[in-house]
């Protein structure tokens, strides 16, 4: 870069820089800082501060004894020195671990105080940053802690989406640390009837990844008022690199939230569960108040003529295409992977973030953590980009971000009905004509999707109606038994389709969000715990436990069959054959290939209220799932054809020989036994003896 371009912007004339210039090549050439030392870098001997403030005329770092704004406990204000690429630096000798700080930035003739965008932790409500000796917060064994699913592709994941409060708030959870990170560290918790809850429940379910709704510091819950119940999903970021304080046992002391968050990750890893964070880089709580924008006005968020773009619907959109925003997001994700051992990231409204930023994140994280998985909401939304020709990370651009997966609203809507009408039916609830789209979804290749490694298949998440509520609303005249069959049919599809299965916590026990005045809550983002919390006592009823066992069984079957977990479209298309000539609202597939020598899987889905007889390829087939049960054990045998019960899935495997050890130690070859029993009868099905 020519030196005159560097010199155009100096501390003397930078008052004249306007937000309209932030995205120019000249500005980025002069003011892109690439070092790894932004924020407060602690050592026992000294702490170094560096903040990026290219439009400032003066910057100070204020050191405080405590983390609560309004408290008169200033220790010292240190002037900072202008340094390379628009950064400012200061250094303080001594051990500053536990000292709080802010920056005072003079720009546009006005001095504002701001938290550090690179804060590692903060005091209450995230307004003052804290210098921290991060190693001092590590739990025992942290250096040996890691992803229990290290090395496995994303299609091996089974993802369970949970809010920290929802798992523990119910009176019957048996969990001591209600609403806290520590609630997810408790083992042996149970309902009054002795049914496992919390971490034990999640572990027993067999999911591989626990996806937590926002756990970075957000603004909508007042951390000074934890004596009153407050609920929010937390899609309103304040400090991207700081754990949320309300989930800690003491939001006033900055080290506590860090230490307890790590204890949670460690406990989950020890239980064999990987951890995914929901990250919301696409917008912030209040753009004008966001610390980055206070330090460099309007830099972090897209604006035009000082009006913020609002594609997110949350008041502002992040200008990820700007070099120092991109760096901030890359640094932030990498920090969570490095410091907190996070194994996956779910990006909220990732369609507002540019592909280059997403690919930079994936590459940076995978350098040291090749196991980390990435997925997000790739909806197409209007936004006021500040550069030309910037592709955004949407479903439609999926080929440009090959290591990033997207929620498939295609399969969601085809299964349960369009998201835009609360009571619209889908395939499971009687909508005809969904076969073609679901055939593509079963192959992990809806129209927008290059292959199964990029589609997250789901029928419920925190947004919109819970699956069971949607089913009840869309089929008010169906029986409860049929409602449950619809629920389980959706689960069977998502759990056997190519791609990444995902579901909202509690779907496996018919989670519902009823409103006190009747009806169901379709947007419970700030609804009380009484609506949101998982109702553990439901598991006292056999009906709910049976659904839970069905999910456990589907997950176990998926885990046992690599043919269901393929990563690329070519492999799927060479191994998955669609069965033709079926009745309406029936789908069936044959799956066989080198991944499972000597085996063939046959899966049929019948959405009709009557049984559908589906012809089977020649041979004897072991049944692993029907309308009532599912698992990795044989529950019956079929030859010639199988009657797929009303509103249900049938999962079968033809295997040359399957040896099982009976409780008395006898080994039996099930294939041979079944063939003898079936005796060539056309549609013999040996039901399991109950
Ligand atoms: Ca907070």
Cα separation, 642 vs 519, whole angstroms: 39
Q: Give residue 7 CA to ligand 1 midpoint distance, Å.
A: 40
pLDDT at 660 over 70: no
How far apart are the CA of 528 and the centre of ligand 1, in A? 18
Q: Is 50 exceeded by the pLDDT of residue 445?
A: yes
To the nearest 10 degrees (0 to 180), the angle between helices 323-340 and 355-368 is 30
> Does residue 126 register a pLDDT over 70?
yes
Q: Which residues pair with 162 in a beta bridge?
A: 212
- 158 CA from centroid of ligand 1 (Å): 29
Confidence of residue 10 (pLDDT cuts 50, 70, 90): low
CB 80 within 8 A of CB 59: yes
Residue 672 pLDDT level (bands cut at 50, 70, 90): very low
**Torsion angle, alpha carbons of 657, 661, 667, 672, to 10:** -30
CA 219 to chain centroid, in Å, comes to 20
Q: How far is the CA of 180 from the centre of ligand 1 (A)?
A: 13
Distances (CA, A) of 227 to 221, 247, 249, 255: 12, 13, 12, 21
Mean pLDDT of the chain, nearest integer: 94
- Give the tokens for residue 204: 């027993």
What are the tokens at 613? 């007889």
pLDDT, tens digit (0-9, with 9 covering 90-100), for 270-287: 999 999 999 999 999 999
3-state secondary structure string, 630-689?
ECCCCCEEEEEEEEECCCEEEEEEEECCCEEECCCCCEEEHHHHHHHHHCCCCEEECCCC
Q: In this predicted structure, what is the pLDDT of residue 656?
A: 80
Between CA 238 and CA 273 the distance in angstroms is: 28
Non-local (6+) Cβ contacts of 153 within 8 A are 453, 565, 567
Q: 594, exposed or middle or buried, with CB in 10 Å at 0-12, 13-18, 19+?
A: exposed
Q: How far is the centre of ligand 1, averaged over its atoms, from the C-alpha of 306 (Å)? A: 27
* Rg (the chain; Cα; Å): 27
- Choice among 138-142, 233-237, 593-597, 677-681 with the minimum mean pLDDT: 677-681
For residue 667 the two structure tokens come to 């080994």
Cα–Cα distance between 114 and 297 in angstroms, integer? 12
Res. 14 pLDDT band, cuts 50 70 90: confident
Q: What is the pLDDT of residue 13?
A: 67
250 pLDDT above the threshold of 90: yes
Which residues are placed with Cβ below 5 angstroms of ligand 1, an ion?
217, 245
Q: What is the pTM of this model?
A: 0.94
> How would residue 479 be classed by pLDDT, with cut points 50, 70 and 90?
very high
pLDDT at residue 664, as a whole number: 54
Residue 472's closest CA among 522, 436, 432? Answer: 522
Q: What are phi and psi of 536, to 5 degrees?
A: -65, -25
Q: What is the pLDDT of residue 674?
A: 43
490/479 Cα distance (integer angstroms): 17
CB burial of residue 389 (10 Å; 0-12, 13-18, 19+) = exposed
**Pairing status of strand 500-504 against strand 303-304:** unpaired
237 CA → ligand 1 middle, Å: 8
Rounded Cα–Cα distance for residues 267 and 273 (Å) = 9
Rounded to an integer, what distance in angstroms lies between the CA atom of residue 296 and that of residue 557? 53
108 pLDDT tier (thresholds 50, 70, 90): confident
Among the options 161, 260, 348, 538, which is catalytic? 348
Å from CA of 251 to ligand 1 middle: 8
What are the tens digits of pLDDT across the range 549-558? 999 999 999 9
Q: 129 CA to middle of ligand 1, Å? A: 13
What is the pLDDT, as a whole number, of residue 1?
34
How confident is the model at residue 16, as a pLDDT? 81
Sheet holding 87-93, edge to edge: 39-42, 46-52, 87-93, 81-82
Position 657 scores a pLDDT of 64
Per-residue pLDDT at 116: 98
Residue 592 region, left (φ>0) first, then alpha (ψ -120 to 50), else beta?
A: beta
**Centroid of chain to Cα 339:** 19
Q: What distance in angstroms lies between residue 219's CA and the mean position of ligand 1's atoms?
A: 5
Q: What is the pLDDT of residues 46-85, one digit of tens each?
A: 999 999 999 999 999 999 999 999 999 999 999 999 999 9
Ligand 1 mean position, distance from CA 127 (Å):
9
Predicted pLDDT of residue 688: 36
Whole-number pLDDT of residue 47: 98
Of the candidates 406, 296, 310, which has an alpha carbon nearest to the alpha carbon of residue 355? 406
C-alpha to C-alpha distance for 653 and 591, rounded to whole angstroms: 9
- Beta-sheet strands, E only, within 492-608: 500-504, 576-578, 586-591, 599-606
How far apart are the CA of 236 and the centre of ligand 1, in A?
9
Q: 523 and 440 in contact (C-beta within 8 Å)?
A: no
Q: Are 230 and 105 in contact (CB under 8 A)?
A: no
Residue by residue, DSSP assigns 221-257 as: S-TT-TTS-------SEEEEEEE-STTSS-TTSHHHH
Count of CB atoms within 10 A of residue 158's CB? 23
**Active-site residue, 339 included:** no
In tens, the pLDDT along 606-655 reads: 999 999 999 999 999 999 999 999 999 999 999 999 999 999 999 999 99
Six-digit token string for 609: 């209220």
Band of residue 662 on the pLDDT scale cut at 50, 70, 90: low
CB 170 within 8 A of CB 540: no
Average pLDDT over residues 25-43: 97
Q: How confident is the model at residue 234 (pLDDT cuts 50, 70, 90)?
A: very high
Task: Check pLDDT > 50 for residue 682.
Answer: no
Q: What is the pLDDT of residues 179-217, one digit of tens each?
A: 999 999 999 999 999 999 999 999 999 999 999 999 999
- State the pLDDT at residue 652: 98
Determine which helix (DSSP H) or strand (DSSP E) holds 442, and give its type and residue range. helix 435-442
The answer to whether residue 298 is catalytic is no
> What's the pLDDT score for residue 11?
59
Are 548 and 555 within 8 A, CB to CB? no
Q: What one-character DSSP code corresponds to residue 303? A: E
Q: Are 84 and 51 in contact (CB under 8 A)?
A: no
CA 527–ligand 1 middle distance (angstroms): 18
Q: 494, 457 in Cβ contact below 8 A?
A: yes
pLDDT of residue 663: 53
Least confidently predicted of 9-23, 90-104, 487-501, 570-584 = 9-23
Sign of the torsion formed by the C-alpha atoms of 177, 180, 182 and 184: positive
- Catalytic residue (one of 354, 377, 482, 521): 377
Of 534, 529, 464, the C-alpha closest to 205 is 534
């Amino acid at each position: 870069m020519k030196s005159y371009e560097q010199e155009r912007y100096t501390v003397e004339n930078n008052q004249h820089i306007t937000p309209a210039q932030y995205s120019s090549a000249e500005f980025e050439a002069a003011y892109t800082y690439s070092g790894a030392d932004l924020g407060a870098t602690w050592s026992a001997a000294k702490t170094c501060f560096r903040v990026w403030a290219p439009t400032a005329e003066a910057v100070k770092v204020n050191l405080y004894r405590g983390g609560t704004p309004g408290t008169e406990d200033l220790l010292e204000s240190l002037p900072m020195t202008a340094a390379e690429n628009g950064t400012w630096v200061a250094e303080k000798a001594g051990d500053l671990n536990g000292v709080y700080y802010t920056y005072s930035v003079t720009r546009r003739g006005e001095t504002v105080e701001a938290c550090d965008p690179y804060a590692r932790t903060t005091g209450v409500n995230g307004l003052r940053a804290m210098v921290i000796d991060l190693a001092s917060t590590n739990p025992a064994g942290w250096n040996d802690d890691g992803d229990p699913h290290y090395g496995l592709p994303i299609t091996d994941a089974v993802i369970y989406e949970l809010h920290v409060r929802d798992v523990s708030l119910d009176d019957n959870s048996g969990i001591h640390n209600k609403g806290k990170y520590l609630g997810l560290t408790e083992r042996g918790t149970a309902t009054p009837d002795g049914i496992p809850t919390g971490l034990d429940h999640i572990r027993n379910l067999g999911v591989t990844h626990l996806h937590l709704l926002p756990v970075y510091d957000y603004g909508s819950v007042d951390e000074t008022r934890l004596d009153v119940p407050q609920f929010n999903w937390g899609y309103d970021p304040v400090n991207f690199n700081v754990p949320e304080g309300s989930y800690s046992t003491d939001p006033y002391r900055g080290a506590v939230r860090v230490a307890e968050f790590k204890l949670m990750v460690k406990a989950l890893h020890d239980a064999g569960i990987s951890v995914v964070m929901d990250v919301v880089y696409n917008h912030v709580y209040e753009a004008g108040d966001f610390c980055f924008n206070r330090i460099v006005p309007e830099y972090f968020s897209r604006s035009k003529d000082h009006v913020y773009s609002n594609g997110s619907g949350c008041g502002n959109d992040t200008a990820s295409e700007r070099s120092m925003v991109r760096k901030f997001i890359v640094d932030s994700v990498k920090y969570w992977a490095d410091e907190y051992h996070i194994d996956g990231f779910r990006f909220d409204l990732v369609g507002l973030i540019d592909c280059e930023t997403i690919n930079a994140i994936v590459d940076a994280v995978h350098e040291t953590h090749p196991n980390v998985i990435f997925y997000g909401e790739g909806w197409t939304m209007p936004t006021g980009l500040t550069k030309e020709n910037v592709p955004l990370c949407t479903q439609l651009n999926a080929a440009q971000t090959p290591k990033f997966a997207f929620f498939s609203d295609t399969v969601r809507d085809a299964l349960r009905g369009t998201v835009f009408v609360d009571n619209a039916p889908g395939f499971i609830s009687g909508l005809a004509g969904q076969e073609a789209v679901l055939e593509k979804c079963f192959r992990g290749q809806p129209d927008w999707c290059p292959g199964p490694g990029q589609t997250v298949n789901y029928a419920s998440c925190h947004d919109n109606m819970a699956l069971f509520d949607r089913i009840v609303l869309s089929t008010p005249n169906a029986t409860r038994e049929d409602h449950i069959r619809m629920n389980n049919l959706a689960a069977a599809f998502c759990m056997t389709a190519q791609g990444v299965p995902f579901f909202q916590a509690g779907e496996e026990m018919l989670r519902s969000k009823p409103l006190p005045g009747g009806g169901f809550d379709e947007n419970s983002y700030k609804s009380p715990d009484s609506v949101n919390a998982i109702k553990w006592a439901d598991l006292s009823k056999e009906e709910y436990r049976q659904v839970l066992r069905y999910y456990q069984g589907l997950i176990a079957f998926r885990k046992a069959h690599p043919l269901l977990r393929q990563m690329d479209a070519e492999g799927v298309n060479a191994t998955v054959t669609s069965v033709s000539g079926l009745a309406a609202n029936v789908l069936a597939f044959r799956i066989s290939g080198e991944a499972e020598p000597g085996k063939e899987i046959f899966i049929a889905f019948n959405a009709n209220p009557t049984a559908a007889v589906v012809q089977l390829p020649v041979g004897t087939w072991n049944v692993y799932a029907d309308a009532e049960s599912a698992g990795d054990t044989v529950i019956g045998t079929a030859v010639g054809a199988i009657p797929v019960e009303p509103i249900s899935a049938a999962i079968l495997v033809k295997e040359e020989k399957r040896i099982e050890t009976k409780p008395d130690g006898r080994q039996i070859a099930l294939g041979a036994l079944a063939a003898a029993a079936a005796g060539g009868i056309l549609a013999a099905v040996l039901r399991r003896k109950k």
